[in-house]
Amino acid sequence: MLERQRYDLLRSGLKKARLESDILQKELAKILKKPQSFVSKVESGERNLDVIEYVSYCMALGVDPSKWLRKLIDKF
């Protein structure tokens, strides 16, 4: 699996978790103390998350970051 595909997998999973939680981009951005455009850019692939941002993003969604990393690692 290519690096870009891994980012796509991660992004799509985070977006799916947001949608399943009925959290709007605007609401997630407020929790993260970021502009709504930050969430939009992450979900569209225009921006990648660093490790700290990833953990914060997951926690804001109520998702276990280590569980998601394990899924990603298993795809390698």
- What DSSP string runs through 3-51? HHHHHHHHHHHHHHHHHHTT--HHHHHHHHTS-HHHHHHHHHTSS---H
Cβ atoms of residues 11 and 53 within 8 Å? no
Tally the domains of the chain.
Answer: 1
pLDDT class of 48 with cuts at 50, 70, 90: very high
Q: Which structural domain, as residue segments, surrounds residue 64?
A: 3-74
**What's the CATH number where 64 sits?**
1.10.260.40
Residue 70 has a pLDDT of 87
Average pLDDT, rounded, for the chain: 92
